[in-house]
Structure 1
Amino acid sequence: MIFNLINSILSLVIIHSNLCDGSVAETKLFTDLLKGYNPLERPVQNSSQPLEVKIKLFLQQILDVDEKNQIVSVNAWLSYTWFDHKLQWEPKKYGGIQDIRFPGSSDHIWKPDVLLYNSAAEDFDSTFKSNLLTYHTGTVVWIPPGVLKFVCQLDVTWFPFDDQVCEMKFGSWTFHGYAIDLQIDDDTNGTQSMDLSTYLVNGEWQVISTNAKRVVSYYKCCPEPYPTVNYYLHIRRRTLYYGFNLIIPSLLISLMAILGFMFPPDAGEKITLEVTILLAIVFFLSMVSEMTPPTSEAVPLIGVFFSCCMLVVSASVVFTIVVLNLHFRSADSHEMNPLVRRVLLEFLPWLLFMSRPGYKFVKANVIDSTDKMPKKPKNPLDCNLPSNHAGYEAQILLLHSVHTELRRVVAFYNKEEHDERIQTDWRFAAMVVDRACLLLFTVFIVISILAIMMSAPHIIA
């Protein structure tokens, strides 16, 4: 028991002495490194030489794309790497310490003043001041994470089939190119782009490319170069949501407006159907106006699509009223002039391959197969009847009165037949207008949809 107790006490003493040695070594290392160190001085051996600072961006997530305010928000990490010759040591002299960390919130060592030029954050630099990792070789790595909000020119012309290319411009705020040589930290395979190894997929936007480019600018005020590293975020909007919730329903509603021309006017619900469809299109258009930003620079593609749909439905309401007006015309109120008869009863039926019972259309002319002129009846009073007999004279007077009444009855029925034929002509003219509108609106909608879809940069994303 005594022997085991002695061993435990010795072990605790040895461990405590090692911890004390490690703490002392680290304290001594910090003291030696910061002795005579000036954080305002660029860490270069020759002040005429620029300090190379490598930058890399790790994209984590696309948080928001605000088309109205032209601002994009992303969650990202920034990695800065440079060499500080004053922060080198031999690990074996300091208890084998390979690396140490300096707090980023304090000014113990020099840090580059690289900022996002097109930042839209309230405090401009929205990164978290993380620790600076320093290796015994003198290499300093600083990886501050943060939510980057930057200005981007967003073009909604092809909404919702749009692509957006946003630029993030990083550069030193006060140093020129002869003081800080800002470079892109390449990947292991040599490509210059953002690191997407930890990227979280966004439900609305698809990342197409994240290229990086080093740009050196010269200004009239200063002869020195000013290098910047520009990251280009190319994103594409996913159209599945808009397709199933806006485009397909509006397309079906437009097709219903076309089918409304096949609805018989006698049903009495033709105009009600067209007005209901128009209200549905207006409702969808109000939804689109809420989704798209209020801008006058460009009209969104989906807005053009809904405008075409509303134009078709509005025109269908107008032509439905015209069809109903033609269908319920009668001989007592309207008379068909020769031009209307020629167009609506002869030319258009022949052009639209329509058929009418009792009529035949040949080369834009109509032949009435039922119009057979009846023979003029012989007047029975024209016969040479004896007139000197009283009985014959009474019969002739009786027959004359009967003949007069029969002529009135025949004239009445002839007028009824004439009026019915005129009304039938008006109804057939309404059918012709319905058929013409059906074909014209179908062709217009098909061409409009194809033109809009073919002009879009992409359909499915």
Structure 2
Amino acid sequence: MLSRLAKKGSTGSTTGMRRTFITITLYLFMACMGHGASELKPKSSNATFGRLADHLMDGYNKGVRPVQNWNQATNVTIHITIFAILGVDEKNQALTTYIWCAQSWIDEFLTWDLMKFENVTKISIPTQWVWVPDITIVECLSMQKSDEISYVHVYDDGRVVINEPVHIVTACKLNIYYFPFDVQNCSLTFTSWGDPVNDINVHFWKNEHVMEALPFYYDTDGEWDLVKVIHSHREFVVMDDKRFSQARFFIVMKRRTMFYTVNVILPSIFLMILDIVGFYLPPESGERVSFKITLLLGYSVFLSYASDQLPATGTPLIGVYFIICMLMMVISIMESILMVRIVHNQNLHPAVSKWLKKLVFGKMSLLVCLKDWVHRVAPREDSSEQTESITEKLAFSDKDDIDDDYKQLPMARLLELLLSIQNEVVSIQKHLKKQDNDSIIMEWLQIGYIVDKFLFRVYLVVMLVYAAVLATIWAQWYWQRTLLHPNFYN
């Protein structure tokens, strides 16, 4: 009995020990696994950010200006980066740009101790949680934000920074007189219409007077090149004697001229050169008129294309140049038609008046260096004067000798002789009239040649003077661009 009880007791104790051992082993295994998992899992700062956000928002009122002393102004600094000039609308006087706008200010209620929050220096919190200044762009016509910026960056010293990309259309006064060699200056004015300078003072992010446009920030193959961005600060007074501050950014840009030079300016120059060469065709040739009319038609077609490239408003200098070129072509066609009229209507030529001879042969021939040529081909004496001279010579002949000769001849022979003399006189008269007509035609031809040379030189002078004016204006534009940005070509 005792042995059976002893055996049973030893079996129970063995089973209990096993259970205890298994339990201890499981606890040790779970403890090791927990310790290993805690070593492998990285520490997260979400809890710190959460505590910091709760700390900042505890009792925070975003509806009031964040200053301890209400007499102290909030300084808002602004910086823009221009990524692209998307378009310039000359007709509506508008500029479309894509910019990155950054604003920064001090919020005295959003500060914390770094030691209490594990040295966290910056936190991002929703924009609708904090106070944001009411900064607007004065020239803004329409604005489209690419992405809704829902967070702002807050630093431990209370500085709040918000960055937002903006697709904006602004009003800009464009001067297209120098088109296509024009430089435009458009402004972006940032100000607060609701708070005067005593409450919100707008400043610039950087202290440099000029912020250069680096290719990294501005990279586009559009029609415009960004030269530089200049900023200025000023204060202005409104009707109720309140002073407001504004920060203005001046965007200086120039038009890329290669397209207009190749497609607008050079074709016009080539057509004008052909019109000048047309003056070397013989003035009495009808091919000159047809050639110049063809050029005028071609120039008209060219202007219909060029008008699509010119601005819809204003009068650029190049438009005046096109009008003058067409006017000179019309004048040259009228001169060629006049020459054809002089040469081919010979029977309708009146005698050249003395004042016209004096003007053309005396003065105009000197201007075109044809004075010697006029003297070499001077017209003969008038036929009427020659006829009177012959009559006077016959009248003053020796009448006695003639009477003696006539008495010796029979009557039939005398009549035959008189008839022969009459025929000779008529023949001489016709010959002299023909010479007179040829002389008139020659005079008109001389006048036509001299006038043709004179108009050709006037044509050249006008075109050269106008080309010099355009070159001067272009040089002025080049000087202006170089003065604005002297390192532009480096």
Q: CA deviation at 1:55?
A: 0.8
Query: 1:46 and 1:155 mapped to 2: Cα distance?
Result: 48
Pick the structure with more helix per residue: 2
Query: Unpaired segments of 5 or more residues in structure 1?
Result: 1-5
Asked if the contact 1:71/1:149 (under 8 Å) is kept, the reply is yes
Shift of the 126–115 alpha-carbon distance from structure 1 to 2, 3 Å rule, reads farther
Tell me the matched-pair count. 439
- Determine helix, strand or coil for the equivalent of 1:40: coil
Asked if the contact 1:160/1:301 (under 8 Å) is kept, the reply is no
Query: 2:114 and 2:139 mapped to 1: Cα distance?
Result: 42
The residue correspondences of 1:5-404 to structure 2 (distance < 5 A) are 13-16=38-41, 18-19=42-43, 21-104=44-127, 107-121=128-142, 124=143, 126=145, 128-130=147-149, 131-187=151-207, 190-193=208-211, 196=214, 198-201=217-220, 203-221=222-240, 223-295=241-313, 298-354=314-370, 359-360=375-376, 382=402, 384-385=404-405, 396-404=414-422
| 1:14-48, Cα deviation, whole Å (9 max, x unpaired) | 343x35x4222222222222222222122222222
Q: CA deviation at 1:116?
A: 0.8
Shift of the 26–354 alpha-carbon distance from structure 1 to 2, 3 Å rule, reads same
Query: 1:357 and 1:396 mapped to 2: Cα distance?
Result: 50
Bigger relative CO (Cα 8 Å, ≥ 6 apart): 1
Q: CA deviation at 1:280?
A: 3.2
Asked if the contact 2:374/2:446 (under 8 Å) is kept, the reply is no
> Structure 1 residues 344-353 or 66-75, which shifts more?
344-353
Query: 2:198 and 2:260 mapped to 1: Cα distance?
Result: 51
Q: State the one-letter code of the partner of 2:99.
A: A
Asked if the contact 2:226/2:251 (under 8 Å) is kept, the reply is yes
1:454 aligns to 2:479 (yes or no): no
Shift of the 195–443 alpha-carbon distance from structure 1 to 2, 3 Å rule, reads closer
Q: CA deviation at 1:261?
A: 2.9
Q: TM-score, normalised by structure 1?
A: 0.83
Asked if the contact 1:264/1:270 (under 8 Å) is kept, the reply is yes
Shift of the 359–383 alpha-carbon distance from structure 1 to 2, 3 Å rule, reads farther
> Structure 1 residues 141-150 or 256-265, which shifts more?
256-265
Query: 1:346 and 1:446 mapped to 2: Cα distance?
Result: 27
> Structure 1 residues 143-152 or 42-51, which shifts more?
42-51
Query: Considering only CA atoms, is the larger Rg found in Structure 1 or Structure 2?
Result: 2
Q: TM-score, normalised by structure 2?
A: 0.79
- Determine helix, strand or coil for the equivalent of 2:235: strand
- Determine helix, strand or coil for the equivalent of 2:109: helix
Query: 2:279 and 2:120 mapped to 1: Cα distance?
Result: 86
Query: 2:92 and 2:242 mapped to 1: Cα distance?
Result: 35
Q: CA deviation at 1:150?
A: 0.7
> Structure 1 residues 241-250 or 283-292, which shifts more?
283-292
Q: CA deviation at 1:89?
A: 2.9
Asked if the contact 1:259/1:438 (under 8 Å) is kept, the reply is no
Query: Unpaired segments of 5 or more residues in structure 2?
Result: 1-30, 482-490
- Determine helix, strand or coil for the equivalent of 1:348: helix
> Structure 1 residues 190-199 or 434-443, which shifts more?
190-199
- Determine helix, strand or coil for the equivalent of 2:249: strand
| 1:400-442, Cα deviation, whole Å (9 max, x unpaired) | 4444444444433333333222212212211111011001111
Asked if the contact 1:217/1:225 (under 8 Å) is kept, the reply is yes
Q: Calculate the aligned-residue CA RMSD, in Å.
A: 3.5
Q: CA deviation at 1:290?
A: 2.8
| 1:67-118, Cα deviation, whole Å (9 max, x unpaired) | 11111011111111122233223445434433221234xx111112211121
- Determine helix, strand or coil for the equivalent of 1:359: helix
Q: Percent identity?
A: 23
Q: State the one-letter code of the partner of 1:214.
A: H
